[in-house]
């Protein structure tokens, strides 16, 4: 996030104020964000479409949303409840249901990472892989999207 030129950077961390930053009830003072990043979060919420609608309502027209979610994962964080298996099609459906238009969507993963994930029951830094650049559509790990309001 520090690689993007910006005049102002607003970072919200759910654990710092669980009422204020709950995506399911989000109502911040700012309603004019032009770029929003949601990193590995939507798999933990009970209603991802509602959360995306709330984010949409906090963005200015033409604002860009980027988020990523696991396609394959292990139980982690709280709640252990996960909407797992987000595919590009699934992500596209929830983004469009929230009112966004898709700009770009895709996934990354490979057999080496998938094996490490389930053998170690932990998330491996992709840079520790022998071949991190290999993207095998049959072994997805993460799905990502860029969308516009």
| Number of independent structural domains in the chain | 1
Domain of 78 in residue numbering reads as 33-148
Torsional sign, CA 91, 97, 98, 100: positive
5 assigned to some structural domain: no
> Does residue 15 lie within any of the structural domains?
no
pLDDT along the chain (149 residues), means of 10: 75 85 91 94 90 97 96 72 78 97 96 92 88 91 96
Q: What is the DSSP string of 13-50?
A: -GGG-TTTT-TTS---S---EEEEEEES-GGGSS-HHH
Q: Is residue 9 part of a domain?
A: no
Please report whether residue 46 resides in a domain.
yes
Residue 2: inside a domain: no
Provide long-range contacts, Cβ within 8 A and 24+ apart, for 28-32: 28/58, 30/58, 31/57, 31/58, 31/59, 31/60, 32/58, 32/59, 32/60
* 20 found inside a domain: no
Residue 66 lies in a domain: yes
Specify the CATH number for the domain of residue 71.
3.40.50.150
**Confidence (pLDDT) at 1:** 52
């Amino acid at each position: 996030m520090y690689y993007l030129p910006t005049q102002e950077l607003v970072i919200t961390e759910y654990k710092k104020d669980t009422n204020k930053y709950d995506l399911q009830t989000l109502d911040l003072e700012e309603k004019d964000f032009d770029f929003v990043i949601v990193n590995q979060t939507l798999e933990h919420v009970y209603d991802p479409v509602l959360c995306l609608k709330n984010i949409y309502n906090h963005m200015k027209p033409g604002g860009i949303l980027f988020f990523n979610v696991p396609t394959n994962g292990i139980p982690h964080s709280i709640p252990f409840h996960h909407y797992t298996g987000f595919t590009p099609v699934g992500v596209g459906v929830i983004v469009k249901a929230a009112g966004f238009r898709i700009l770009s969507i895709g996934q990354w993963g490979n057999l080496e990472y998938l094996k490490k994930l389930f053998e170690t029951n932990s998330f491996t830094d992709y840079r520790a892989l022998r071949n991190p650049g290999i993207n095998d559509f049959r072994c997805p790990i993460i799905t990502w999207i860029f969308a516009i309001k």
